[in-house]
Structure 1
Amino acid sequence: MTVVRLGYVAMSMELQNASPSQTMTFTQFQKIRDREAAIRKLERIAISNLENTLRLLRHNAFSEIHFYRITSRLIPLANHEELLDWDYMKPLKKNLQEVGEFAKSNAIRIDFHPDHFVVINSAKKEVLKNSIKTLKLHYLLLKGMEIDPEHRCVLHVGGNYKETDKSLERFVDNWMLVPGPIQKMIMLENDDTSFTVDDTLYLCEKLGIPLVFDYHHHLAHNHNENWQDNWERITATWQNSPLPIKMHISSPKSEAEFRHHSNYVDIDMFFRFLNEMKGSVSQIDCMIEAKKKDQALFRLMEEVKKRTDVEIIDGSSFRLM
């Protein structure tokens, strides 16, 4: 039997005034003549984001949700080239510790998924440099939360540049420039346009990186439609991880806009996957990437409760029978 745990991304559709992604542009920053006052405002925004993250974690604990992706936009302008002298971690220490303590005490698995501009396989040195800098920020956030950073950060392979093989090998070459502690933080995900499961597995097996299987992406872009042929290899990439295997689940917005995420999860599509893989792993954590965030999770669980082939565990978890 396999235990399935559901999670959601960043924002809640249920909580009011709880955005963890409040921001300030550099243009807005420049308009504040007193630079120190501008930096203090940045710090207040970051603290507010962390306070709202803690609110979201409390909401998750109350709702029996054990899996949550924290936004990568907690600290506005953290790595801006004009603010490299700003020690942004120091004023956030208390708030980061509170977030980490709550997540750990309530057994909530948290992770990150940095934005698309983090590109390890870029041919441009400056892009790679900035990508590593952004990954270091995520590493410092996890350390500030006193959470083990291992396998807490999902990335796409990067740009294809119409040269799949060369782009994959460039990832391998650039990977050697990524500091070891940050390497251990990374998971790789197959995407919907550039790198299939087969492509991503090549890197994961070669470099010892867990593969986060995105079922929707696979249906949109694959060399081999039968994902089952690779499932044993996918699960094997997790054999040395301290965390259960993770996947992404979403549904197409429509046939015409297949790659776009729908508001909710199509339960029939989801269970086509689950019924094929059940029993192959003891637990799988499924991150819902739907427009309606936690509402999509709640709706999906209501539909799951009507099925006769599952055993409900709690508000976000069930066992496949």
Structure 2
Amino acid sequence: MKIRFGYVSTAITLWDASPAKTLTYTRYQQLSPEERTEKLLDVTRQNIEHTKRMLYFNLAHEIEVYRMSSSIVPLATHPEVRWDFTTPFKKEWEEIGDLVRNNHLRVSFHPNQFTLFTSPKNTITENAVIDMSYHYQMFEAMGIADKGLINIHIGGAYGDKQETLIRFHQNLTTLPAHIKQVMTLENDDKTYTAEETLVVCEKETIPLVFDYHHHMANLSEAPLEELWPRIVQTWEHVPHIPKIHISSPKSEKEFRSHADFVDPEFIMPFLQLLKESGQDVDFMIEAKSKDQAALKLIEDLSKLRGYKRISGGTIEIK
């Protein structure tokens, strides 16, 4: 079986390459109409250019899995700003899409924790649809709307998990079908366990992005050995292998916080389960050191018996 490794948003190895440079609404208001347009275009241009730099970095290191920044376009979903960010950069978006498609890269987005469908407030649900649409629109501009995935969490429990899950299913009907088709759900470290998230995914025909660190912080009643085959099945209707989020605790006291790098010992039980299942997967490394953590974990694992590095970003387990 094979595991491809990726990282989140920014290759910290590169100098000044953030794809998430910002423009606050407060600063935006202080500018003249002409300056506002110029600033929006300038910041977006830098973020798109840095996204391309990241992709070239990944290609050089044979890293095939990458999560793009959700903040490429400043103020894209702000109700007082929402602007056309695709037309001015038609060529640039398409260049990113070509890089992804021609090199068979796997890319995704992960909107922030406020993009959820569990809230009793209609405005929260409406904003979630707007945010999901924004991410989908970027994939559309790249010409890879059929290849990228958008991952979110279920959200809060609001004092009653069962009632909240009923509301989640109801609220999710407001999300356009074509966007739901590229949506994934992830188990979290405090509220919804992998088992609870899995039930939702099975009901909605949505792939489950399994987070091992979150699972260890928020255990399911059923053992992972029983859940894993069902998790794999949630991916059968999409052209992707299962994706796993990997990180390790910062410390015993700060168990939920992510460490700078990934401790191989922490994930070893899961690696053994994967080996026994024979299922190819992709690992999204969520450690603080990003690309450096991904490459270090690959190097650490490749030193173990039965683990063979077969490319810059891929390990084979025998």
User: What TM-score results when the alignment is normalised by the length of structure 1?
Assistant: 0.96
Q: What is the CA–CA distance in structure 2 between the aligned matches of 1:259 and 1:225, rounded to whole Å?
A: 21
Indicate the percent of aligned positions where both proteins have the same amino acid. 39
Aligned match of 1:293: 290
Aligned match of 1:117: 114
| Partner AA of 1:90 in structure 2 | T
Q: What is the CA–CA distance in structure 2 between the aligned matches of 1:14 and 1:151, rounded to whole Å?
A: 25
Structure 1 contact 5–284 (Cα < 8 Å) conserved: yes
Shift of 1:280: 2.4
> Are 1:134 and 2:98 an aligned pair?
no
Q: What is the CA–CA distance in structure 1 between the aligned matches of 2:295 and 2:204, rounded to whole Å?
A: 37
Q: Deviations over 1:82-135 (max 9, x none)?
A: 113x22221121111111111222221110000111011111100100110010
CA-based RMSD of the aligned residues comes to 1.2
Unaligned 5+ residue runs, structure 1? none
> Are 1:238 and 2:255 an aligned pair?
no
Q: Deviations over 1:47-76 (max 9, x none)?
A: 110100000000000011000000000000
Structure 1 contact 50–74 (Cα < 8 Å) conserved: yes
> Are 1:9 and 2:14 an aligned pair?
no
Structure 1 contact 151–187 (Cα < 8 Å) conserved: no
Q: What is the CA–CA distance in structure 2 between the aligned matches of 1:117 and 1:93, rounded to whole Å?
A: 29
Aligned match of 2:65: 67
Q: What is the CA–CA distance in structure 1 between the aligned matches of 2:146 and 2:160, rounded to whole Å?
A: 32
Runs of 4+ in 1 over 4 A off after TM superposition: none
> Are 1:40 and 2:38 an aligned pair?
yes
| Partner AA of 1:9 in structure 2 | V
Q: Deviations over 1:179-220 (max 9, x none)?
A: 101111110000001100111011101010000110100010
Q: Mapping of 1:177-196 within 5 angstroms?
A: 177-196=174-193
Q: Secondary structure at the match of 2:311?
A: coil
Shift of 1:281: 4.5
Aligned match of 2:160: 163
Q: What is the CA–CA distance in structure 2 between the aligned matches of 1:307 and 1:225, rounded to whole Å?
A: 30
Q: What is the CA–CA distance in structure 2 between the aligned matches of 1:37 and 1:91, rounded to whole Å?
A: 16
Shift of 1:25: 0.4
Q: What is the CA–CA distance in structure 2 between the aligned matches of 1:253 and 1:157, rounded to whole Å?
A: 24
Q: Number of residue pairs matched? A: 318
| Partner AA of 1:268 in structure 2 | E
Unaligned 5+ residue runs, structure 2? none
| Partner AA of 2:155 in structure 1 | G
Q: What is the CA–CA distance in structure 2 between the aligned matches of 1:93 and 1:193, rounded to whole Å?
A: 41
Q: What is the CA–CA distance in structure 2 between the aligned matches of 1:292 and 1:225, rounded to whole Å?
A: 32
| Partner AA of 2:304 in structure 1 | R
Q: Mapping of 1:269-288 within 5 angstroms?
A: 269-288=266-285
Q: What is the CA–CA distance in structure 1 between the aligned matches of 2:87 and 2:253, rounded to whole Å?
A: 48
User: What TM-score results when the alignment is normalised by the length of structure 2?
Assistant: 0.97
Aligned match of 1:197: 194
Q: Secondary structure at the match of 1:213?
A: strand
Structure 1 contact 9–68 (Cα < 8 Å) conserved: yes
